């Protein structure tokens, strides 16, 4: 998929997740179009009912990101961050801090490098240790 800069910006969820890296976004069957996009295309109950995505403070914020909330980082975000840091080599809070301090454009540029397959250059899936394009092992210690 070749997304425009605006599309890539819309793929960054309020929690700091880059939806482009998500297995649900990358799959063809039951494809999710990202947390910030139309809910009618979502098939996952967990995505539709996400506490963070549906947070009223975030919906009313200027940026649409959790870092604007007075409870940042809330317990739910801390739990999500811990799980993704341990299992998937990504920190939601680190992502949000980068966006807050250096801007969304900088973050997106960094993501393109960080999540490119070292063998073929394709964007990899954060939930898998294999590149979806060339099948090379990306993270040896992923579960």
DSSP string, 55-99: -HHHHTSSS-SGGGSTTPSPHHHHHHHHHHHHHHS--HHHHHHHH
- 114-134: average pLDDT: 91
Distance between CA atoms of residues 30 and 69, nearest Å: 32
> Which backbone phi and psi does 32 adopt, to 5 degrees?
-100, 140
The pLDDT confidence band at residue 61, using thresholds 50, 70 and 90, is confident
Place of tokens 């680190």: 94
Q: What is the mean pLDDT of the chain?
A: 87
pLDDT of residue 37: 81
- What's the pTM value of the predicted model, to 2 decimals? 0.87
Tally Cβ neighbours within 10 Å of residue 48: 12
């Amino acid at each position: 998929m070749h997304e425009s800069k605006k599309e890539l910006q819309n793929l960054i969820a309020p929690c700091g997740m880059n939806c482009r890296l998500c297995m649900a976004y990358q799959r063809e069957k039951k494809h999710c179009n990202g947390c910030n996009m139309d809910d009618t295309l979502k098939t996952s109950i967990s995505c539709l009912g996400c506490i963070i995505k549906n947070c009223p403070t975030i919906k009313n914020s200027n940026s649409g990101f959790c870092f604007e909330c007075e409870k940042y980082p809330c317990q739910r975000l801390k739990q999500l961050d811990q799980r993704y840091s341990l299992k998937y080599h990504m920190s939601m809070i680190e992502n949000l801090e980068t966006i807050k301090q250096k801007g969304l454009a900088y973050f997106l540029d960094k993501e393109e490098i960080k999540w490119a397959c070292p063998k073929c250059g394709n964007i990899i899936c954060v939930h898998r240790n294999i590149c979806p394009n060339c099948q090379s092992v990306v993270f040896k210690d992923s579960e």
